[in-house]
Amino acid sequence: MQLKLESNTYIPPVHGLRLLQIAIVFLFIIFCARFWYLQVHRGEDFARLAFENRMRYEKTFAARGEIYDRNGMLLAENHIAFGIALVREDTPDIDASLAQIGEWTNLSLETIRERYNDNKVHAQIFDPIFLVQNLPFEVIVPIQAELNEWPGVQIIPLPIRNYPQKHNFAHIMGYVAEAKPEELKKDPNLALADIVGRQGIEYVLESRLRGRKGLKRMEVDVLGRILKNSPIQEAKAGNNIVLNLDAKLQEGVSKAMGDHSGSVVVLNPDTGAIRAFVTQPSYDNNLFVTGFSQKEWDAVRNHPRFPLQNRTIQSIFPPGSVWKLMMVGMLLENGIDPKETVFCNGTYTLGDRVFRCWRKGGHGQVDMEKSIVSSCDVYYFVMGESMGIDKMEQFARASGFGSKTGIDLPHENKGLVPSRDWKLRRFKERWQKGDTVNASIGQGYILVTPIQLAVFIGALINDGKLLQPQLLASEKPYINGFLPFRDEYKEMIKEYMVKTVNSGYGATARILHRDDMTIGGKTGTAQVVKIKMVGDRRKKNEEMDFYERDHAWMGTWGEKDGERVVVVTMLEHGGGGASAAGPVTRDIYKLLFPIEKE
Amino acid sequence: MKFLNLPEKRVFLDMNWTLVLAVLILFFVGLVNLYSASSMRLESGITHAPFYSRQLMWGLLGLMIMSTCAILSYKMVERFAVVVYVFTIFLLLLVPIMGKSVYGAQRWLDLGFFSLQPSEIAKFAVLLMGARFLAGDGEALGWFGLFKILLIGFIPFVFIVQQPDLGTGLTVMFLVGGMALFHGIKWKVLRTCLIIIPLCLPLAWFALHDYQKERILTFLDPTRDPRGAGYHIIQSQIAIGSGEITGKGFQAGTQSQLRFLPEKHTDFAIAVFGEEWGFVGSIGIIILFCFFLFAIYSTVSEAKDRFGSTLCAGIFFYFFWQIVVNIGMVVGLMPVVGIPLPFISYGGTSMAVNCGLIGLVLSVSMYRYVFKS
């Protein structure tokens, strides 16, 4: 064939060929270097990332420890409820899923979205974000059926705390709640939607009750489908706790108190074990777990008598005449002869101030025994003033007042033992003799908690040991200190208390008298406002506004067949110690030591 | 002059068999890799998607296209370059008028019995037209010459980018530029271009679509969107890097088997390979591609006329560009542009086009001695 050739001598452009050669070398060098960097230099890093990609760790819940009373009655248990959660990384359409969850649960989209936005901040990658909690089984069943169509949406069974005793133990149990962001930040063991104790025993014993979560490792594909599931660590349930309290007694005491607000402590004086610990009014602590309705919350928050207040340890009151027990101890230790008498004509005058005895006509000649049994005020006005506030402060502190008893509950108040320094600091005023006179009968500045008085009375009959009150059955007795009274003096005080109950005419705690056991007691009527007169008689409590009525105290101990108890009753604005606190205390002794029928 | 030169035996032996060998090896490596990439590990075990078997079918089809192109006389093809080019422009014009949309881009012409992507034909058209233009004389290109050759690429480029398909558009421009560089540009002109082009790049930024800007930004910092656009980049580097030196073994790559790796059949196929065969395998495949490019190079250097040589150089740049962009993207050296890896990635269209182009190179190699006789 004949072809017109361009040329037989065509030579490709040299620079062009060089360009192609360079291109090949360039490609080789660049990619070899890059592969070396990725696969050799940083290979281990990427291998770890690839491993983390497919391995997911999931925590398994540990059951929170249960709480029982001394007889094995359940006080706090776990029910199973269900929560709906969403894993962002597995959810193709988050908005639609949120809307669907709202539809399932009858919650508004805004509520769900708000929960989502609040919670996602603290969620790590692949963490389920809880949107709804505490759903019962009936609600969950139909949702479960549709779940396949909503990847990323999970139903997670969650234990929910239940307190079968409700009001009866609300202040002691406290409650649990979902961990707050601050708590999550502080405690690495906490994850989203975990519950933590917020109040009471639940709060104090958090670490023992919580247990330890388990860990599961799962191999998943990119859609989060689980291919392999291997537990790494089993969940360990929290410890069960047994309390010294007696649920039946607790309920009985509550009934005995009727409509009164106030506090009752029943204590074993030998061990410090608390057998009953009642505060009224109370609330249903389950509502803190499941959530208050607005109406329920308003009812609790706006209640005129503050049901959330734990009166036994958080409220402080003037002790009134119960204080005289401490005073007697102090007088004896300071060499006052119990036979020494003071004449009581119903008033005591200091300068231009007149201090009145509760008994208008006076008690006549009063010695120490009579001062307790008939609770004469003038005796203590005279004696207290002669002792002075400094001694009184010293003995009061040594008797456990003005400091916490160390009970296993949060927010204990330490009360107040006044002193010269204290008044100067607090009011920028010098201590007056009149202040001492007032303090002598447990009025004025002195403030105590019911639990402090119970510990003090316990120490009178247990050889002086100021014991830490114990809610937990497992705790050994712990001695905070010793009463600064000699044994013979304590015996005398005990005897006076028994006489206050048992002697005939004039015994202020006569209402407690029982033939089958020994009870010692001391009444107290703590004024809230100055005594008001109606004409020439004192205004009666029933005639006063509730918040101006006296606080009624009854500090007692009882013994039968070697078993001893301390019962302290405090009725807030309850009126007279004997008339209001007396019957309540009597009923409590009936519960503790039932009267045998012949 | 015959349209088809059914070759004599001697001519047949002259064919660039090295290139055929390189293509076949690449194809089979790709097929094996695809087998692994299409396996899915489920709870019940491993199942396979039918990608590898279809790829085998595409391969056979490609082989037919390659043979056809190889026995076409490329001198004849040169004559039709202008017709092909004008016809292609016409098809590209039709796309926005009557093309069908897939995934928001309008690239296909539905011809009833089969769908056609005019942008793929444009690659041939531009190669042929460019080579024909440059075959005129051996003079280095001046300003006007450079303008004309770039215009040949730029007209289809504008249409293709409109579709939008920036990847193919850039491919076209790159191979035109490559051919011009191969042919030779006057030093004065080249020097000026080297200064001006970098200065113009910021202007190009404003011409990009938002999603394209996003891709470039994500390439520069994948962590700005680790669950979205950055996900591809991060997961593919994890896949390759976790292969370490010797790899995780065939069908044992967790990134691909558990589908953390996106687009593992197509654009990210090499990541599957890197994960399962490690650094050793990666280097092997790079060497294989260099071998492949070198085989094309040998035809470029041995061609006995300017058209054939320039055409092959264009084809060289075409493959070079795809390899660099694809692997560059997978290893995180380049932004994510949807360009498949020749013979490794799954896909019928690219297989057909690639085989056709290899066929042209073979045609040039076969006829290099014809004119001697």
Q: What is the pLDDT of residues B335-344, one digit of tens each?
A: 888 888 999 9
- Residues B309-324, mean pLDDT to the nearest whole number: 94
Q: Which A residues, 88 through 117, put their C-beta within 8 Å of a C-beta on chain B?
A: 89
**pLDDT for res A2:** 41
- Residues B136-148, mean pLDDT to the nearest whole number: 87
pLDDT in tens, A523-552: 988 887 766 666 666 677 777 777 788 889
Q: Which residues of B touch A16 (CB under 8 A)?
A: 181-184, 300, 313
- Residues B315-334, mean pLDDT to the nearest whole number: 92
Residue of A11, A43, A584 whose CA lies nearest to A263: A584
- Residues A234-239, mean pLDDT to the nearest whole number: 88
Continuous segment of H or E residues that includes residue A241 = strand A241-242
Does the pLDDT of residue A1 top 60, yes or no?
no
Does the pLDDT of residue A169 top 80, yes or no?
yes
Does the pLDDT of residue A259 top 60, yes or no?
yes
Q: Where are the beta strands (DSSP E) in A5-93?
A: 55-60, 67-68, 74-86
pLDDT band at A35 (very low <50, low <70, confident <90, very high): very high
Q: Which A residues, 481 through 500, put their C-beta within 8 Å of a C-beta on chain B?
A: none
Q: Write down the residue that tokens 């119903």 correspond to.
A: A346
Does the pLDDT of residue B42 top 70, yes or no?
no
- Residues B62-87, mean pLDDT to the nearest whole number: 88
Does the pLDDT of residue B7 top 60, yes or no?
no
In this complex, how many residue pairs, one in chain A and one in chain B, have their CB atoms less than 8 Å apart?
158
pLDDT in tens, A192-206: 778 889 889 999 999
Q: With an 8 Å Cβ cutoff, are B305 and A221 in contact?
A: no
Instruction: For an interface test with B, give the residue of A9, A20, A220 to mutate (most B CBs within 10 A).
Output: A20
CB-based contact (8 Å) between B290 and chain A? Answer: yes
**pLDDT for res B228:** 60
pLDDT band at B26 (very low <50, low <70, confident <90, very high): very high
Give the gap in angstroms from C-alpha A39 to the nearest C-alpha of chain B. Answer: 4
Q: With an 8 Å Cβ cutoff, are A10 and B182 in contact?
A: no
User: Mean pLDDT, chain A, as a whole number?
Assistant: 87
**pLDDT for res A4:** 44
Does the pLDDT of residue A150 top 70, yes or no?
yes
CB-based contact (8 Å) between B154 and chain A? Answer: no
Q: With an 8 Å Cβ cutoff, are B297 and A13 in contact?
A: no
Integer CA distances (angstroms), A587 to A514, A583, A594, A595, B124, in order: 12, 6, 10, 11, 107
Q: With an 8 Å Cβ cutoff, are B182 and A50 in contact?
A: no
Q: With an 8 Å Cβ cutoff, are B286 and A12 in contact?
A: no
Q: With an 8 Å Cβ cutoff, are B241 and A32 in contact?
A: no
**pLDDT for res A60:** 78
Nearest residue in chain A measured CA to CA from B301: A12
Does the pLDDT of residue A128 top 90, yes or no?
no
Q: Which residues of B touch A224 (CB under 8 A)?
A: none
CA distance A413 to A395: 19
Tell which wins on pLDDT, B140 or B311: B311
C-beta of residue B33 within 8 angstroms of C-beta of residue B344:
yes
Q: Using CB atoms within 10 Å of the CB of residue A39, give its burial: 0 to 12 exposed, 13 to 18 middle, 19+ buried.
A: buried
Give the gap in angstroms from C-alpha B320 to the nearest C-alpha of chain A. Answer: 8
- Residues A291-312, mean pLDDT to the nearest whole number: 84
Name the CA dihedral angle for B59, B65, B69, B70, rounded to a multiple of 10 degrees.
50
Q: Which residues of A touch B289 (CB under 8 A)?
A: 27
Question: For residue A275, which amino acid is it?
Answer: R
C-beta of residue B108 within 8 angstroms of C-beta of residue B117:
yes
Does the pLDDT of residue B6 top 60, yes or no?
no
Range with the poorest average pLDDT among A140-149, A187-196, A359-368: A187-196
- Residues B69-94, mean pLDDT to the nearest whole number: 87
Q: Using CB atoms within 10 Å of the CB of residue A170, give its burial: 0 to 12 exposed, 13 to 18 middle, 19+ buried.
A: buried
- Residues A389-398, mean pLDDT to the nearest whole number: 93
pLDDT band at B369 (very low <50, low <70, confident <90, very high): low
pLDDT band at A6 (very low <50, low <70, confident <90, very high): very low
Q: With an 8 Å Cβ cutoff, are A8 and B287 in contact?
A: no
pLDDT band at A69 (very low <50, low <70, confident <90, very high): very high
- Residues B236-257, mean pLDDT to the nearest whole number: 83
pLDDT band at B152 (very low <50, low <70, confident <90, very high): very high
**pLDDT for res A151:** 81
Does the pLDDT of residue B183 top 60, yes or no?
yes
Q: Which domains does chain A have, with CATH numbers?
A: 57-242 (3.90.1310.10), 247-592 (3.40.710.10)
Contacts with A80 (C-beta within 8 Å, 6 or more apart), sequence order: A137, A157, A158, A159, A160
Name the CA dihedral angle for B174, B175, B178, B179, rounded to a multiple of 10 degrees.
-150
Q: Which residues of A touch B187 (CB under 8 A)?
A: none
Tell which wins on pLDDT, A29 or A103: A29
pLDDT band at A453 (very low <50, low <70, confident <90, very high): very high
Give the gap in angstroms from C-alpha A310 to the nearest C-alpha of chain B. Answer: 51
Q: Using CB atoms within 10 Å of the CB of residue A185, give its burial: 0 to 12 exposed, 13 to 18 middle, 19+ buried.
A: exposed
**pLDDT for res A125:** 66
C-beta of residue A199 within 8 angstroms of C-beta of residue A207:
no
- Residues B133-159, mean pLDDT to the nearest whole number: 89
Judged by phi (left if over 0) then psi (alpha if -120 to 50, else beta), residue A527 lies in beta
C-beta of residue B26 within 8 angstroms of C-beta of residue B293:
no
Give the gap in angstroms from C-alpha B309 to the nearest C-alpha of chain A. Answer: 7
Q: Which B residues, 212 through 271, put their C-beta within 8 Å of a C-beta on chain A?
A: 227, 235, 237-245, 254-255, 258-260
**pLDDT for res A460:** 93
CB-based contact (8 Å) between B184 and chain A? Answer: yes
**Tokens linked to A386:** 């002669």
pLDDT band at B361 (very low <50, low <70, confident <90, very high): very high
Q: With an 8 Å Cβ cutoff, are A35 and B286 in contact?
A: yes
User: Mean pLDDT, chain B, as a whole number?
Assistant: 84
Integer CA distances (angstroms), B159 to B82, B100, B172, B212, B217, in order: 18, 15, 11, 17, 25
Q: Which residues of A touch B244 (CB under 8 A)?
A: 39-40, 43-44, 46-47
Least CB–CB distance from B258: residue in A3, A20, A54: A54
